[in-house]
Amino acid sequence: MSSIDERQPRLPDDTPPHGQPPVRLEELEEGDQGPGCLLWGVVSVAGVGFAIAIVLLSGVAGWTSGQRQSQTFATATQQAEIQDQLNRIPGDVASGNAVLLGARLQFLATQTPGVAGLGELMETATAVYLNNQPTQTPTPTATPEVTTTTAAPEETFEAEIETSDDGYDLAGLLEQANTAARLGQYTEAVDLLQVIEAVDSTYQAAAVRGLMLESLSAQALRLFRGGGNLAEAILLVDEAEKYGLPADSELRYESYVAALYLNARSKIGTDFGGAIQALSEAYSIAPNYRDGELRRLLFNQYVAYGDAWVAEGNPCSAYPQYQNALNLLADGGVSAKMSNAETACQQGTPVPGPDGQNIGPVGVPETPGS
């Protein structure tokens, strides 16, 4: 009789068939240990690198957007100043003021891109200059008395009023600028002061710069508060900064709000979402700007956006736009539109589509027309 041990199942021998190397089960079990620490370290470093790249790309995108907006403001203010100078040239030509005319043309010649028609304006300025030159008129007799009476006052006049080497009466121009500023004619004062700086930037520099800052600031504030050309006012503030405008000046705040307002106005009629965002930003800072104009503009954009959603057959998206409008101003017509949109959204009532077919609410598309 065989023993109990002989009847127990046995593991096969470790020795493989003849001609094959032995298989070590211990080595196979030890070799399958999964990814090592080095691999996990590489994966972690790669993940951190991707995160940093995303942050950097987001920062670059924000900086690029800011640069584009700043460029838009700069272009608008530059065009406003160019147009203002062009509008003043006919008056200088009519009055024969070659000094102011020359200063304006000198400014226009430095603008990039070039101002259209500048060559013709230069020819006009030359003609004005030549017309202002004294002409010799032959006389049958020249009496000494006439020569004496005309020469003496001229010598006395030149001795009393300081002039530069170029022959400009800088003292007289500065006095005229002071008079213009006292009378509230700030634009004329700035023009005269610019002539003085163009002729001799060192002449009475402190007085000229002080009066320039005063005139620029007063004219900019007049435009901001009086509903004038905001782009021109922003340009005047930029110029005033060159002459020492204080950092806490209210003009800096006025210029900032005006820039937001102009940016928002430029988006109206082209992009509902962009216009609402820009108007909301300006409204949050100055809700009563221009006697509540920002409030009315924002209200109208919300209503127009809601109407666009209804026209697209999506009353569910129109409802919150009407609600936002009513949060700004009460309006019976808009209240009725909101109620109709709410009812249509809850009931899923189809509305006529652009081709006459019925279109029911189907969620919130990205933009009307998509």
Q: Read off φ and ψ for residue 136, nearest 5 degrees.
A: -85, 125
Please indicate, yes or no, if residue 282 is contained in any of the structural domains.
yes
Mean per-residue pLDDT for 168-192?
94
Q: Which of 103-112, 134-143, 223-232 has the highest mean pLDDT?
A: 223-232
CATH number at residue 326: 1.25.40
Which of 42-56, 190-204, 258-272, 291-305 is least confident? Answer: 42-56
335: containing domain:
268-365
Confidence of residue 167 (pLDDT cuts 50, 70, 90): low
Please indicate, yes or no, if residue 286 is contained in any of the structural domains.
yes
Mean per-residue pLDDT for 33-37?
59
Mean per-residue pLDDT for 316-323?
96
pLDDT the model gives residue 368: 45
pLDDT the model gives residue 79: 73
Radius of gyration of the chain (CA): 40
pLDDT the model gives residue 88: 76
Mean per-residue pLDDT for 206-222?
96
Please indicate, yes or no, if residue 318 is contained in any of the structural domains.
yes
pTM summary value: 0.52
- Structurally, the chain folds into a number of domains equal to 1
| Beta-bridge mates of residue 359 | 351
Residue 321's closest CA among 299, 343, 347? 299
For 222-258, b/e burial (b = at least 16 CB within 10 A) is ebbeeeeebbbbbbbbbbbbebebeeebebeebbebb
Which of 21-30, 164-173, 202-211, 279-288 is least confident? Answer: 21-30
pLDDT in tens, 49-91: 777 877 677 666 666 666 666 566 656 666 777 777 777 778 7
Please indicate, yes or no, if residue 333 is contained in any of the structural domains.
yes
Please indicate, yes or no, if residue 330 is contained in any of the structural domains.
yes
Please indicate, yes or no, if residue 83 is contained in any of the structural domains.
no
353/186: higher pLDDT: 186
Please indicate, yes or no, if residue 247 is contained in any of the structural domains.
no
Please indicate, yes or no, if residue 297 is contained in any of the structural domains.
yes
Structure tokens at 273: 């979402």
Contact 351, 359 (CB under 8 A): yes
